[in-house]
Amino acid sequence: MSASYTFPSGAQIRLVPGDLTASEVDAVVNAANARLQHGGGVAGAIARRGGPTIQEESDAWVRQHGPITPDRPAITSAGVLPCRFVIHAVGPVWGEGDEDAKLAQAVDSALQLAASRNLTTLALPAISTGIFGFPKDRAADVILAALAAYFAGQIYSSLRRVDVTLFDAPTLEAFAQAFARRWPG
């Protein structure tokens, strides 16, 4: 179950079933925690497959810059992943308040950071929908709206393609339904 939408600028959003850590893009977005400790979920998978360099660089980032926030992601190399960088974005924990705005900001900040590095392709997971407990259907609407807002306002962005890359069937289904509501046809 995949889908795609191309904006008038030529930039494209694709819904891609699969393993984020196998994405052949310029960067993958990690659904991180604020201290960049990559133990479980997407972060754990990225760190295991990418090798120890990712955790080492993440620890150095936090020592130098402090914890990340939805408006201030981090970037590290990708270790041995088939991409060049990992952009570490922290979304909200469900129940902490103002979750929709924080999730949208985490997505937008990751896109802005990618564009600031002149990256053209990005793979993005369902940020905050794992152990942070954000409802998948609601997150799908927020994430797709944030992507649409970015590409509507950034027609000269270096980003040409964002793959929303989802591993499990329930998340993929929630995003497919949200995608069809936003871009029918």
> pLDDT exceeding 90 applies to what percent of the chain?
94
Position of tokens 């040409």?
Answer: 160
pLDDT of residue 155: 79
Rounded to an integer, what distance in angstroms lies between the CA atom of residue 105 and that of residue 135? 17
Specify the pLDDT at position 176: 96
Amino acid 153: pLDDT: 87
> pLDDT, tens digit, for every residue of 118-175?
999 999 999 999 999 999 999 999 999 999 999 998 878 999 999 999 999 999 999 9
pLDDT of residue 140: 98
Query: For position 43, which CATH number holds?
Result: 3.40.220.10
Cβ burial of 177 (10 Å; 0-12, 13-18, 19+) is middle
Pairing between β-strand 12-17 and β-strand 85-90 as defined by DSSP bridges: unpaired
| Strand 3-6, strand 12-17: pairing | antiparallel
Report percent pLDDT > 70 for the chain.
99
pLDDT digits (tens, 9 = 90+) for 81-102: 999 999 999 999 999 999 999 9
Q: Which DSSP state fits 73?
A: -
Q: How many domains does the chain have?
A: 1
Summarised one tens digit per residue, pLDDT across range 100-120 is: 999 999 999 999 999 999 999
Q: What is the pLDDT of residues 20-63, one digit of tens each?
A: 999 999 999 999 999 999 998 999 999 999 999 999 999 999 99
Give the model's pLDDT for residue 2.
Answer: 82
What are phi and psi for residue 19, nearest 5 degrees? -95, 115
Alpha-carbon dihedral 182, 113, 158, 42, rounded to 10 degrees: -60
pLDDT at 1 over 70: no
Give this prediction's pTM: 0.96
pLDDT, residue 96, reads 95
∠ at Cα 111 (114, 76), nearest 5°?
40
Range of the domain at 32: 3-182
**pLDDT value at position 156?**
86
Q: Alpha carbon of 157 to those of 9, 10, 14: distances in Å? A: 9, 11, 17
pLDDT for 123 equals 98
